[in-house]
Chains A and B, each alone.
Chain A
Amino acid sequence: MSDNTQTITLTVNGQQITRLVRIRQHLVDFLRIELGLTGSHLGCEHGVCGACSVRVDNCVVRGCLMLAVQVDGSVVETVEGLTESGEISDLQDNFVERDALQCGFCTSGMLITAAELLRDAAPKSRDEIRDFLSGNYCRCTGYHAIVDAVEMTLKQRLEGQS
């Protein structure tokens, strides 16, 4: 079955790994099944809900719309890696404090998208935050608390800079 598989080498959460993967396997299935990184979730498998969002070479992508073979040579970051590096610990604290998650199924993707918004640490209105997060669906919270948590993190980061 060698024509159906390919060896890929990539960096996942700071560790270089090499795996033989089926060429039809999606990135998020690869992360979940082959690497046990179950923090990324499958909500729709057609690129709408955002629950499978992960970072590839510093860009947020849908893990269900990308194949594992496409990340050969890339740097992939998941919520597990962002947690361990501490990059989003303030955002995570605010999510917990503000109860900006209920079932938590969307949360990993939401955090990764929010981290992108926060990266340039530029002031944003609530409407701009809402707009930016609109590719990530949440069915539990109604979004208000998520916007609060992102807004609070941004405010704290801006205060920290000044």
Chain B
Amino acid sequence: MNDAIDRSAFERTNSHIGRSLSRASARRTVAGRGKYTDDVMLPRTLHAAFVRSPYAHAWIRKINAEAAVAMPGVALVMTGAELAELCTGPWVGVLSCFEGMKSAPQYPMAVDRACWQGEPVVMVVGESRAVVEDACDLINIEWEEIPPTVDAGTALDPDTAVLHPELGDNLAFAKTIDRGDVDKAFDIADHVIEESFSFGRHTAVSLEPRSLLADYDPGTQRLTIHTSSQCPHMIQAVFARTLGIPEHNVRIVAPDVGGSFGLKIHTFGDEVASTAASMVLGRPVKFIADRLESFVSDIHAREHQIFARMAFRKDGEILAMEIDDLAGVGAYSAYPRTSVFEANQVLNITGGPYKFENYRASTKVVYLNKVPTSQYRAVGHPIGISVGEHMVDRAAEQTGLDPLEIRRLNVMQDDAYPALAPSGVPVNDLSHEACIDKLVELMDYDRLRSEQAELREQGIYRGIGIAGFIKGTAPGPQGYYGAGGAPIASQDACTIKLEPSGGVICTVGVTDQGQGVDTVMGQIAATALGVSMEAVRVISGDTDAVPYGGGTYASRATAIGGEAVYQASRALRTEILEMASILLQTEVTKLDIVDANVVDANTGQARIPLSEIGRIGHFQLGELPDDYQPILSATHRYRLTELPYIFTNGVHGAYLEVDPETGFIRLLKHWVVEDCGRIINPNLADEQVRGGCVQGLGGAFYEHCIYDDAGQLLNGSMVDYLTPMAVEMPDIVVAHIETPTSESELGAKGVGESGTGAAPGVAMCAVNDALRPFETVVTEQPMTPEVVLRALGKI
């Protein structure tokens, strides 16, 4: 085969891969022309609002809604019991891949009992959001309070009330991983360290709240839902099944999505209720969550308590690690993705960068009368990485090694793959050693240490943190959602077509929330085909237009969707060259496509433009033999076949200053070196890392859903739930090592979550480095001034 054809497309001179192209959609957004769900306005649209439970746990004894029903402008008042009648059955948020997992049946709105403060109870639909909010205030519900279960630590005690009596206890799921000989390793170790950790609840706070516009057409029995979603096909399947409509009659359109971070891979009862209202009324119904209801109805995440032990030799070699995790989820396991992935992922990735083989990790996941938790950016990783890296730092302290040196000593070597992480999950194509070397250079580590020592003499307490990580990205189908029984694809798909004009339409199952998926898919398609970026139109986020896919979650869009685009584009390229070889009566191996022309592969001389291929292939078929039918379209699907995840790796560095008088922490700088395989668009990859870091730092220092003993969320507003502001955040230096994954031709791994995963861990290492002279440690996140002052014994 000719060299020019055989060579990987992304190495060609006219490749768009590896170039920092800007996003066409950004040009539209800066002009204020973004189109989010609330910007979609259909004639006769009604608006929905909800009466939500003011109690964490209470029986609904009576609902008095007459005044709301009678209010001018109100079209429908629907209770949870009435909605349940319209549903095919309750949701049960379990997956068969989590052995022994249990959850109680859940309807979209509470039927006779509310199980968390904020659970929707009654829906009012009417002419404007203002009117239906007024009507909600007129609804009087007679409640009978039930003692709530709010503390994970006592949820399994015999005298604690069982939230769902039919389950027998409050345990959702338990799991233990036990590899090697942990007990023996602890016996022979020179040192053993122990630590307890606590991680608070977070929530995503996407700046655009959850949004949905359901439009049921009684004539065609067709349901169209515009919604701010990462996973249109999953929404299609779940809503269709819940409301008893054939899935192919449901169209999901995800317009511009104003932040998602995992929040918008989930299904929510209020959204199903609004859709049911559209079906009942035969009119469009819009539901835009306001910020206050977002805090008590969006999924929450984290809330883990961990006890960890580590055994190591006096030379610093880690021998074993043991963790015992307790996770408090909500009143139900989220349907269909469950609420136990986070705990499972903590077990999978803790200690992940290191060579030790003796590892025991167990988790218990318990139900609480709080907002249901589920997957949020970097699921489990902030917890596992914080725990593992803190323990490594403690080991360094005990053995007198520098934090860098102990990591160099223990990380898996760059030539050791394929390998298994301590938990037994397979890892491949990682580069811990190269990443550490690059980080040291980037940070100017030795100079920073000298500066730290000098300032300490002056009573200024600065800390330097180093934290390595592995991150599970781009999951395969094995043991995952689809295999576990949920209608969520782990494979993804692309259909690519050559139009008569020579333009290319590329439709993809993955979706864009501003991270640049559409641009990246365009770069891959244009490169694989040999055309300009301008020639390719990428379409995503519309189930009527795109092939069935999983959407964007778990850092999968580029690694999985990108490979599907690459393979589909290569197939279309092959067809174009075949057709050209017939038209030109030339061997196909002597042809190539460059700059939208079929060219002579050796000389580069243009032979026929793609616009001619398109024109002839669609209109002038007489120029082709009768037995040759051009299709000029290709569909390809791609999935991982062997591995559960494509793991990535990297290392973060942090520099910060702690004021021991006030407990305030000033972040000075943050560095990241990570390996997401082949990088399609360096600028977009960097910005994923930066944005991810800040989301992680938010959780590390500020963000916390604080509940009282009655199960009331005390800080459910943006005034009280603190997310990072510009002035608090440091500049973030990003660099990469590129080790393409062996799993695909493209070689891309995921990049969207690793910043969020590792930033809290490195922040905790840096805070403790700053506090070292005080001989105290902080092992609680968020690391608020109060937490720091408590560690210092000042309050």
CB within 8 Å of B: which residues of A? 22, 24-25, 32, 37-46, 48-49, 51, 78-80, 83, 92, 95-97, 99, 101-108, 111, 126-127, 129-131, 133-147
- For B31, the chain A residues whose CB sits under 8 A away are 39, 79-80, 83, 92
Residues in chain B near residue A102, CB distance under 8 A:
259, 513-516, 687, 691
The answer for the CA separation of A46 and B727 in the assembled complex, in Å, is 21
With A25-B130, A95-B26, A136-B726 given, can you name 7 additional A-B contacts, CB distance below 8 Å?
A: A22-B130, A32-B38, A99-B26, A103-B259, A131-B727, A141-B690, A144-B732
In the bound complex, CA of A5 to CA of B38 (Å)? 24
- Assess whether A146 is in contact with B26, with CB atoms less than 8 Å apart: no
- Write out the residue numbers on chain B whose beta carbons fall within 8 Å of the beta carbon of A137: 207, 718, 723, 725
- Distance in angstroms between the alpha carbons of A139 and B756 in the assembled complex: 12
In this assembly, does B437 line the interface, its C-beta being within 8 Å of a C-beta of chain A? no
User: Smallest Cβ distance from A54 to chain B, in angstroms?
Assistant: 10
Enumerate B1-59 residues with CB–CB distance to A below 8 Å: 22-23, 25-27, 29-36, 38-39
Most B C-beta atoms less than 10 A away, residue of A78, A103, A105: A103
Task: Write the nearest CB–CB distance from B31 to chain A, whole angstroms.
Answer: 4
Which residue of the partner chain, among B34, B288, B731, contacts A39 with CB atoms under 8 Å?
B34
CA distance A13 to B718 in the complex (A): 30
**At the interface, yes or no: B270 with Cβ under 8 Å from chain A?**
no
**Which residue of chain A has its CB nearest to the CB of B515?**
A102
> Which residues of B, 503-542, contact A by the 8 Å Cβ criterion?
513-516
B795 within 8 A of A: no
Q: Do A139 and B690 contact each other (CB < 8 Å), given the known contacts A39-B32, A44-B718?
A: no
Number of interface residues of B (CB under 8 A): 57
Q: Is the CB of A49 within 8 A of B207?
A: yes
Q: Are B729 and A104 in contact (CB under 8 A)?
A: no
26 contacts between A and B (CB under 8 A): A40-B32, A41-B208, A42-B288, A43-B208, A46-B719, A51-B207, A79-B31, A80-B31, A96-B27, A97-B22, A99-B22, A102-B259, A102-B514, A103-B208, A103-B514, A104-B29, A105-B207, A106-B207, A126-B731, A130-B727, A137-B207, A140-B259, A142-B729, A142-B755, A144-B690, A145-B687
**Partner pick for B729 among A49, A83, A143, CB 8 A cutoff:** A143
B271 within 8 A of A: no
A46-B719, A49-B207, A51-B207 given as contacts; is B32 within 8 A of A142 (CB)? no
A139–B207 touching, CB < 8 Å:
yes
Residues in B with CB closer than 8 Å to A131 are: 726-727
Q: Is the CB of B29 within 8 A of A107?
A: yes
- Across the interface, which residues of A come within 8 angstroms of B261, CB to CB? 139
- Give the CA-CA distance A92 to B723 in the complex, in Å: 25
Contact B727 A107, beta carbon cutoff 8 Å? no
Residue B314 interfacial (CB < 8 Å): no
B695 interface hit (Cβ, 8 Å): yes
In the bound complex, do residue B719 and residue A48 qualify as a contact, i.e. CB atoms below 8 Å apart? yes
A65 to chain B, nearest CB (A): 12
* 8 Å CB contact of A41 from B207, B692, B724, B728: B207
Write the chain A residue with the least CB distance to B755.
A142
Residues in A whose Cβ lies below 8 Å from that of B33: 39, 80
The 6 A-B residue pairs whose C-beta atoms are closest, nearest first, are A39-B32, A105-B258, A142-B694, A104-B29, A102-B514, A79-B32
Kindly state the separation between the CA atoms of A133 and B726 in the bound complex, as whole angstroms: 6
Instruction: Tell me whether A103 and B256 are in contact in the complex, defined as CB-CB below 8 angstroms, given that A126-B731, A142-B691, A142-B694 are known contacts.
Output: yes
Determine the chain A residues whose CB is within 8 A of the CB of B571 once the complex forms.
Answer: none
How far apart are the CA atoms of A100 and B263 in the complex, in Å?
A: 22
Within 8 Å of chain A (Cβ to Cβ): is B574? no
Q: Is B160 an interface residue (CB 8 A)?
A: no
Bound CA span A99–B204, Å: 22
- Report the number of A-B residue pairs with Cβ-Cβ less than 8 Å: 173
- Cross-chain contact of B206 among A101, A107, A139 (Cβ < 8 A): A139
Contacts of A127 in B (CB 8 A): 727
B145 within 8 A of A: no
Q: How far apart are B392's CB and chain A's nearest CB, in angstroms? A: 26
| Known A45-B290, A45-B291, A51-B207; contact A139-B729, beta-carbon cutoff 8 A | no
Q: A130-B726, A142-B694 are in contact. Are A111 and B30 (CB under 8 A)?
A: yes
Asked if residues B30 and A99 are in contact (CB atoms below 8 Å), the reply is no
A95–B22 Cα gap in the complex (Å)? 10
B347 within 8 A of A: no
In contact, A96 and B26 (Cβ under 8 angstroms):
yes
The verdict on B717 contacting chain A, using a C-beta distance below 8 Å, is: yes
B249 within 8 A of A: no
A141 to chain B, nearest CB (A): 5
Query: Does B496 make an interface contact (CB < 8 A)?
Result: no
Cβ of A24 to closest chain B Cβ, rounded Å:
7
Of A32, A78, A108, the most chain B CB neighbours within 10 A belong to: A108
Instruction: Find residues 557-614 in chain B having any chain A CB closer than 8 Å to their own CB.
Output: none
With CB as the reference atom, state the residue of chain A lying closest to B31. Answer: A83
CA distance A83 to B691 in the complex (A): 26
B683 within 8 A of A: yes
CA distance A128 to B725 in the complex (A): 13
Assembly CA distance A83 to B719 (angstroms): 31
Q: Tell me, yes or no, whether B693 is within 8 Å of chain A by CB.
A: yes
Nearest chain-B residue to A112 (Cβ)?
A: B32
Complex-state Cα separation, A32 to B258, whole angstroms:
16
The complex places the Cα of A92 from the Cα of B291 at a distance, in Å, of 28
Q: Is the CB of A134 within 8 A of B727?
A: yes
Please indicate which of the listed interface residues A80, A142, A146 has the most CB atoms of chain B within 10 Å of its own CB: A142
- Residues of chain B lying within 8 A (CB to CB) of residue A143: 694, 724, 726, 729
| Given A139-B205, A139-B207; A104-B732 close (CB under 8 Å) | no
A105 in complex: contacting residue of B22, B208, B729, CB < 8 Å: B208
CA distance A79 to B725 in the complex (A): 22
**Do residues A103 and B258 form an inter-chain contact, with CB atoms below 8 A?**
yes
By a CB distance below 8 angstroms, the chain A residues around B29 are 101, 104, 107
Question: CB within 8 Å of A: which of B158-210?
Answer: 204-209
Tell me whether B257 is interfacial, beta carbon within 8 Å. Answer: yes
Q: Does B684 contact A (CB under 8 A)?
A: yes
Closest partner residue, chain A, to B205 (CB atom): A139
B147, chain A: closest CB distance, angstroms: 32
Contact between chains at A99 and B32 (CB < 8 Å): no
- Would B727 and A142 count as touching, CB distance under 8 A? no
B83 nearest CB across to chain A (Å): 26
Give the distance in Å from the alpha carbon of A32 to the alpha carbon of B1 in the complex.
59
Tell me how far the C-beta of A22 lies from the nearest C-beta in chain B, rounded to whole angstroms: 8
Residues of A within 8 A of B260 (CB): 103
B687:A99 contact, CB within 8 angstroms:
yes
Q: How far is the CA of A24 from the CA of B693 in the complex (A)?
A: 40
- With a cutoff of 8 Å between Cβ atoms, the chain A residues found around residue B30 in the complex are 83, 92, 95-96, 101, 104, 107, 111
Residue of A nearest to B204 (CB): A139
- Closest-by-CB residue of B relative to A128 is B727
In the complex, the answer to whether B206 meets A104 with C-beta atoms within 8 Å is no
Is there an interface contact between B207 and A144, defined as CB atoms closer than 8 Å? no
**Complex CA–CA separation, A39 to B258 (angstroms):** 12
List which B206-263 residues lie within 8 A (CB) of chain A: 206-209, 256-261
Residue pair B515, A49 in contact (C-beta under 8 Å): no
